[in-house]
Chain A
């Protein structure tokens, strides 16, 4: 019973966690908009979520085929938890001091991430409500 509850909420929990993490990466970019030679960072949310929820079809990189019992599985960088596979943003108008933060791009991404975070929150709230209804005694 309890592990079913966990499974029902796992996806939203992972999504929310990753959204929060991305929010932080983007906040770091905005904070370093004037730091010389700072490179803007970001990560691919779709891939990170796939790796976190264990959907192999979306996992990045090559996966070793395990055909015998003794074969080792190699976890891809993004599925090792903790630090996501942070990538560098492709600069569209690089500045002379080597900084690649484009404030417009970062602010747009931040706003986008904010709305999606709120969406995840709402979905999770709905999930809670559904579970509560399912658990309520007959009325």
Chain B
């Protein structure tokens, strides 16, 4: 039944890529969130992929989600209620262009894995009819 583990391999990759897409969406949605639940501006997040499973049938998993340590964006908005004493508002360090690229890449990889899964499914269905004619 070795063939069935292709579904696990491709499935894990699809799950990981979907999670990456979720994180990119969250980053984009929070590109202007001045304060998160902890009162601090939102920081961009990234998923970290790692190969899982034994050699030759390696799936993928998300090991952790890291926060971008780069400096936060500061904008001069003296009228804003969240401005500091100098009139600057601290905004998230999300870079929308980078997130868009990330999203497109995740979607392409997702599609590739769907293809692999579909092809394998067809092969298995054909194998099941072996010797029938």
Residues from chain A with a CB closer than 8 A to the CB of B24 are: none
Q: Contact size class for B? A: 35 or more
- Bound form: Cα–Cα A89–B20 in Å: 27
Instruction: Please provide the chain A residues from 28 to 55 with a CB less than 8 Å away from any CB of chain B in the complex.
Output: 28, 30-36, 38, 41
B91 interface residue (CB < 8 Å to A): no
From DSSP, what is the main secondary structure of chain A's interface residues? helix
Q: Contact size class for A? A: 20 to 34
Interface centre among A34, A38, A118, A129 (most CB of B within 10 A): A34
A28 close to B49 (CB less than 8 A): no
| A-B interface contact total, Cβ < 8 Å | 97
B9 close to A27 (CB less than 8 A): yes
From DSSP, what is the main secondary structure of chain B's interface residues? helix
Q: A32-B51, A86-B56 are in contact. Are A128 and B3 (CB under 8 A)?
A: no
Q: A30-B13, A31-B13, A118-B126 are in contact. Are A83 and B119 (CB under 8 A)?
A: no
B120 interface residue (CB < 8 Å to A): yes
Residues from chain A with a CB closer than 8 A to the CB of B115 are: 107
Interface centre among A23, A27, A30, A32 (most CB of B within 10 A): A27
Q: A32-B60, A83-B56, A110-B116 are in contact. Are A27 and B6 (CB under 8 A)?
A: yes
Give chain A nearest CB distance to B116 CB in angstroms: 5
**Which of B32-40, B72-80, B92-100, B105-113 is the contact stretch?**
B105-113
Seen from chain A, the residues whose Cβ lies within 8 Å of a Cβ on chain B are 16-17, 20-21, 23-28, 30-36, 38, 41, 83-84, 86, 103, 107, 110, 114, 117-118, 121, 124-125, 128-129
